[in-house]
Structure 1
Amino acid sequence: MLSLQEISDRIEIAMLLDRYAGAIDRIDMALLDSVFTPDAAIDYTAFAEWGGIAGSYPEIRAWLAAGLPRSPGFQHIVANKEIALDGDAATGRILCLNPIVLPVADTDGRPRVGFHGLWYLDRYVRTAAGWRIAARTEERCFSHNFPEPAHA
């Protein structure tokens, strides 16, 4: 049986993950600031061939702010939230399905939509402001309907 604290922690972390997806999809950097710790370590290099980088939260924040507007549209759908709690810390393995409208058209002139399937491997910490992501690494599952990377 789950304690009230564990139920609360799980709901709060699930809300944190949804807030991340919403912040990214709306390109809302102020909202994103409420998701990560200021010193979070983030590794998006599982998709390095399309420009994914690793760095501190300030570096990743600047990279996202510059890169996200290049796409006409995208969504980050988070599910299968496997969370392991340990007091004021937790880890998670979170499924993400990421459809992206690409800035190139298909041969018939219609927008091309690519899909990434991945997991976020996270470390969370409870802060005075609530749960935050202290570390995130992407683990790639698949990519579909993307053109070959320009530098491949």
Structure 2
Amino acid sequence: MSDATEVIGLLHRYADALDRRDWAALDTVFSPDVSADYAGSEIVSGRDNLAGMIRGYLDGCGPTQHLMGNESAAIDGETGTVTAKMRVHHIGQGRPDLQYEVFGWYHATVRRGPEGWRIVSWRQEVTHELGTYEVFGRG
């Protein structure tokens, strides 16, 4: 498997982990020292803090679908970058009338370590939103 294919696979594992609520799988996506910026609304340092922030949204939400496409990767030795278009749909837990959808890009810097490729810097760029944040059940 090529390095580019492996780092694009990180994005797919991220999407699957969130949609399946498989929080332990995030250990195979992010480095322990990851920094993340979710469109300026959430800025987090550290994998455990990032997983906690994500859970703060999705534990109160119903079904989600994180779709990625038009991925591109550039590798330079033990580091690289990967970018993908994203479209994410959220439905309220027990409230299908509540929906929130976001469009944009994910941008990541990756590093190869003893356990393989991991994301060390993560940024969500939002280009469009539809619906309500009430879908997250956060009050």
- TM interval, shorter chain, is 0.7 to 0.9
Alignment of 1:101 with 2:101, yes or no, is no
Q: Could you list the per-position Cα deviations for residues 84-110 of structure 1 after superposition, in whole angstroms to 9, with x for gaps in the alignment?
A: 1111111122111001113595xxxx5
- Does structure 2 retain, via aligned residues, the 8 Å contact 1:47–1:140? no
Distance in 2 (CA, whole Å) between partners of 1:87 and 1:100 is 37
The change in CA–CA distance for 1:143 and 1:34 in structure 2 (over 3 A counts) is: same
Q: How far apart are 1:30 and its partner, in Å?
A: 0.9
The change in CA–CA distance for 1:103 and 1:29 in structure 2 (over 3 A counts) is: closer
Give unpaired runs (5+ residues) of structure 1. Answer: 1-6
For CA contacts below 8 A with separation 6 or more, give which structure has more relative contact order. Answer: 2
2:124 counterpart residue number: 138
1:36 counterpart residue number: 30
Query: How high is the TM-score relative to the length of structure 1?
Result: 0.79
2:137 counterpart residue number: none
DSSP 3-state at the match of 1:72: strand
Distance in 1 (CA, whole Å) between partners of 2:130 and 2:71 is 23
Alignment of 1:10 with 2:12, yes or no, is no
Write the letter of the residue equivalent to 1:129: E
Mapping for residues 1-150 of structure 1, pairs under 5 Å: 8-44=2-38, 46=39, 48=41, 53-56=42-45, 57-102=47-92, 111-146=97-132
Q: Could you list the per-position Cα deviations for residues 108-131 of structure 1 after superposition, in whole angstroms to 9, with x for gaps in the alignment?
A: xx5233210021111001111111
> Which is higher, the Rg of structure 1 or of structure 2?
1
Q: How far apart are 1:13 and its partner, in Å?
A: 1.2
Write the letter of the residue equivalent to 2:80: A
The change in CA–CA distance for 1:78 and 1:126 in structure 2 (over 3 A counts) is: same
Percent identity between matched residues is 30
Give unpaired runs (5+ residues) of structure 2. Answer: 135-139
